[in-house]
Structure formats: structure tokens, C-alpha cells
């Protein structure tokens, strides 16, 4: 499926999605509330069949936090990117996609540990790298580590 057809498909499923021009992948910013439903359709629909989540990242954009999902269909040979914003920096959360792509379970824990974004309905939402009593989220731009004198 080419970029135009992917764009049509995603926008038909989530009309309020925003399409971003990108040279490598079609990129869609979607409302957090629509993430899981869209992801499930993109994975299970035989025309899209996004069976491979090859990257899941957290991003701190200062005014909001974002989760970025890179999806690929191995059989059909197309890719796309979904981005979900959360403006709530105090209690950021997004629905998990670990029930759709098992690899998301690890990546979501990493994003939680380093950015503080919780993934609703995740089967094991706990820190993966840092100690349980660690204060703060080291990859946020407002993080200050007074012990090691690290400021962003």
C-alpha cells in the first residue's frame, strides 16, 4: 500500500488524525483515546497487516510528552509512524499496545522508566532500568540530578 492509500485508510479510521509529511514514512498524530482501536485495526486488517512494531519511543517536547510507534507489515512491505501526545506532564498515560505486539511490553516499560509515561492496562508496569525508589525521569528535559550534577 502506498503512502496515499495508507493516508486515506488511517484518516478514514480516525478522521481527526493529523498527517505529517515525511520523506521516509507516513506519519500520523492521533488522539490518545483512539490509539488502541486504530492500532488493532491496522494490525488485523488484511490490507494493512502491520504485524511488526519495530520501534516504540518516548519524546519530551517540553510542552507535552509523546509516544512514537514505528510499524511495519512484513508481508505487504509498507511502514508507518503513529504519534500520540499527552499534555499532562504530571500524570501522563497512553493505552498499552502490548496485547497487540508483544515487543511493546519491554519498550513501554522503558518509556515509563525514563519519561514517566504510564501505559494503561500494561501487564507489568514497573521500572526496568532504575531502582524502584528512583526520583524523577532522566530523559525528561526538566530533569535535574543534584547528586550527579546533571541538568538539561
Determine which of 24-28, 52-56, 141-145 has the lowest per-residue pLDDT on average.
Answer: 141-145
Measure the CA–CA gap between 110 and 108, rounded to whole angstroms. Answer: 5
Report pTM.
0.93
Tell me: pLDDT of 100 over 60: yes
The pLDDT assigned to 24 comes to 87
64: pLDDT confidence band, cut at 50, 70 and 90?
Answer: very high
Task: Give the rounded percent of residues in the chain with a pLDDT score beyond 70.
Answer: 97
> Chain-wide mean pLDDT for the chain?
94
Beta-strand pair 118-120/52-60: unpaired
**Phi (first) and psi of residue 103, to 5 degrees:** -60, -25
Q: Hey, what domains does the chain have and what are their CATH numbers?
A: 3-151 (3.30.460.80)
The pLDDT assigned to 151 comes to 60
Tell me: pLDDT of 149 over 80: no
Tell me: pLDDT of 121 over 70: yes
The pLDDT assigned to 152 comes to 56
The pLDDT assigned to 21 comes to 83
**Tens digits of per-residue pLDDT, 9-52?**
999 999 999 999 888 899 999 999 999 999 999 999 999 999 99
Amino acid at each position: 500500500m502506498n503512502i496515499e492509500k495508507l493516508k486515506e485508510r488511517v484518516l478514514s479510521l480516525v478522521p481527526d488524525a493529523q498527517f505529517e509529511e515525511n520523506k521516509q514514512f507516513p506519519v500520523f498524530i492521533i488522539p490518545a483515546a483512539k490509539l488502541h482501536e486504530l492500532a488493532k485495526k491496522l494490525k488485523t486488517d488484511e490490507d494493512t497487516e502491520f504485524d511488526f512494531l519495530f520501534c516504540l519511543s518516548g519524546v519530551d517536547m517540553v510542552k507535552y510528552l509523546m509516544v512514537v510507534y514505528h510499524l511495519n507489515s512484513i508481508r505487504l512491505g509498507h511502514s508507518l509512524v503513529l504519534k500520540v501526545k499527552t499534555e499532562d506532564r504530571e500524570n501522563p498515560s497512553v493505552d498499552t499496545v502490548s496485547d497487540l505486539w508483544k515487543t511493546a511490553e519491554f519498550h513501554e516499560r522503558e518509556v515509563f522508566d525514563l519519561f514517566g509515561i504510564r501505559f494503561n492496562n500494561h501487564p507489568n508496569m514497573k521500572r526496568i532500568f532504575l531502582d524502584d525508589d528512583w526520583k524523577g525521569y532522566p530523559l525528561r528535559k526538566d530533569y535535574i540530578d543534584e547528586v550527579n550534577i546533571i541538568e538539561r
